C-alpha cells in the first residue's frame, strides 16, 4: 500500500508533503455524469481523503458512451448514478471515504454539505445550479472549478473567492436556450479534456500551490483543432452582487431559482425561470428538431413531444412538462433539452 501514491509523490510540485495534504482534504463534486464520474475516479485514485458526490439521476444506456464508471448492469438496473459511482470508486481505492447522495442540488442541501470542503467541482448540466455554486463559493470562501462540454467543445475556469472574477461577473445573467448533449451530442474526448483541466486545478489547490493555479478561462474544440486561453481579470466587477464590495448572494434567494409547481389533475409540472427571461422560440425549434422529436410552433409557444413527455415552451420563459408529476424528473428533462 505504501507504493500506491509513489509516482505522484515523485512529481516535485506534490511530493510527500503534498500527498499528505491531499489525503487530508475533502472535495465536493456536483453531478455524477460524464464530468463528475471522471473527476471522482481521478481524485479517488490520487488519494483525496474524502469525496462527496451528489446527483439526482440514474444510469441510462445513453450514458455508457462517455460516463466511465458505469456498466451495462447499472443501466439495466437503473441504479442511481451516485450509488453506482460509490460502488466502483470503493473498489478502486478503499482508503478514500466516498459519500454518495441521491438528491437535487438545492441551496439547503448544499449549505449542509459544505462543512470542511476544500474545493467544489462543477459537473452539472445547467447554469441555474452553477450560479448557486458560485454564490455559495463566495459566501463560504471555497474555491470551485467550472467545467462544461458539449459536442467536441469544452470550457473550464478556476474561481478563487476574493481573488478572481466569479461566474456572475462573467455572465451577469443566466444564459438561456443553450446547446446540450441531448440536442447536439457529445464525444468522449471532450469530456476527458475538461476533466484533465479540472483535476489539475484541484490538485494545485489541495497542495496549496497558489502561484500555478490557472487564472485564465480556457476553451477548445477538439474536432476543429481550436484552443483559446482568455484573460478575464478585468471582468471582475466591484459592484457584483456575488463577489463585489457589498455581496448579497442573489442566486441563493428564492426569486432567482427555478420555480416548480405540479399542476392539479394534469400530470404536469410547470417550471418558471428567474424573472425577466424571454425565449427565442425559433432558435429553440431549430435545436430541438435535431433530436428527432416532434416540434410544433405558433407565435406564442412551442410544443416538443419526446414520445414519453411533451414540453410546452412559452416566450415568457415558462415551460410545462406533461407526462410527469415528479418535480426532480421534470427538472432533469428541462435541463436536458433547454440547457
> Which string of DSSP letters, residue by residue, matches 45-85?
HHT-SEEEEEE--B--GGGTTT-TT--HHHHHHT-BHHHHH
Of 149, 166, 169, 181, the active-site residue reads 181
Helices (H), 78-231: 81-92, 107-113, 127-140, 167-171, 181-184, 188-206
Q: Tell me the CA distances in angstroms from 202 to 144, 207, 312, one per residue in order.
A: 8, 9, 40
Separation CA 78–CA 101 (nearest Å): 16
Residue with cell 483559446: 228
| Residue 309: strand pairing partners | none
> Please, what is the Cα angle at 102 between 306 and 122, to 5 degrees?
80
- For cell 500527498, what's the residue? 19
Q: Is 149 a catalytic residue?
A: no
Residue 310 vs residues 245, 283, 304, 337: alpha-carbon distances, Å? 44, 18, 6, 11
**Any idea what DSSP says for residue 96?**
S
Q: What is the DSSP string of 171-211?
A: HSS---S---HHHH-B-HHHHHHHHHHHHHHHHHHHTT-GG
Residues that are catalytic: 181
Amino acid at each position: 500500500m505504501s507504493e500506491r501514491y509513489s509516482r505522484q509523490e515523485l512529481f516535485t510540485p506534490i511530493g510527500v508533503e503534498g500527498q499528505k495534504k491531499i489525503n487530508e482534504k475533502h472535495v465536493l463534486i456536483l453531478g455524477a455524469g460524464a464530468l463528475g464520474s471522471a473527476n471522482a475516479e481521478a481524485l479517488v485514485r490520487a488519494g483525496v481523503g474524502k469525496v462527496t458526490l451528489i446527483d439526482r439521476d440514474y444510469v441510462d444506456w445513453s450514458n455508457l458512451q462517455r460516463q466511465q464508471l458505469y456498466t451495462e448492469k447499472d443501466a439495466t438496473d437503473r441504479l442511481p448514478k451516485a450509488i453506482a459511482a460509490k460502488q466502483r470508486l470503493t473498489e478502486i481505492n478503499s482508503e478514500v471515504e466516498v459519500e454518495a447522495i441521491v438528491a437535487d442540488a438545492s441551496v439547503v442541501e448544499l449549505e449542509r454539505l459544505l462543512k470542511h470542503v476544500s474545493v467544489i467541482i462543477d459537473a452539472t448540466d445547467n447554469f441555474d445550479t452553477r450560479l448557486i455554486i458560485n454564490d455559495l463559493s463566495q459566501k463560504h470562501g471555497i474555491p470551485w472549478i467550472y467545467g462544461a462540454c458539449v459536442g467536441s467543445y469544452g470550457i473550464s475556469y478556476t474561481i478563487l473567492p476574493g481573488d478572481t472574477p466569479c461566474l456572475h461577473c462573467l455572465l451577469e445573467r443566466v444564459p438561456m436556450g443553450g446547446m446540450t448533449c441531448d440536442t447536439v451530442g457529445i464525444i468522449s474526448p471532450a469530456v476527458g479534456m475538461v476533466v484533465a483541466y479540472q483535476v489539475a486545478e484541484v490538485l494545485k489547490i489541495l497542495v496549496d500551490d497558489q502561484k500555478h493555479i490557472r487564472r485564465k478561462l480556457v476553451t477548445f474544440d477538439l474536432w476543429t483543432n481550436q484552443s483559446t486561453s482568455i484573460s478575464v481579470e478585468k471582468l471582475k466587477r466591484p459592484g457584483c452582487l456575488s463577489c463585489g464590495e457589498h455581496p448579497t448572494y442573489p442566486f441563493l434567494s428564492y426569486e432567482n431559482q427555478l420555480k416548480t409547481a405540479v399542476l392539479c389533475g394534469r400530470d404536469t409540472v410547470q417550471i418558471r425561470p428567474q424573472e425577466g427571461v424571454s425565449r427565442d422560440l425559433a432558435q429553440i425549434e431549430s435545436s430541438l428538431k435535431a433530436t428527432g422529436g416532434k416540434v410544433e410552433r405558433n407565435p406564442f409557444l412551442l410544443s416538443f413531444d419526446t414520445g414519453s413527455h411533451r414540453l410546452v415552451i412559452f416566450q415568457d420563459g415558462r415551460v410545462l412538462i406533461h407526462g410527469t408529476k415528479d418535480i426532480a424528473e421534470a427538472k432533469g428533462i428541462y435541463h436536458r433539452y433547454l440547457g
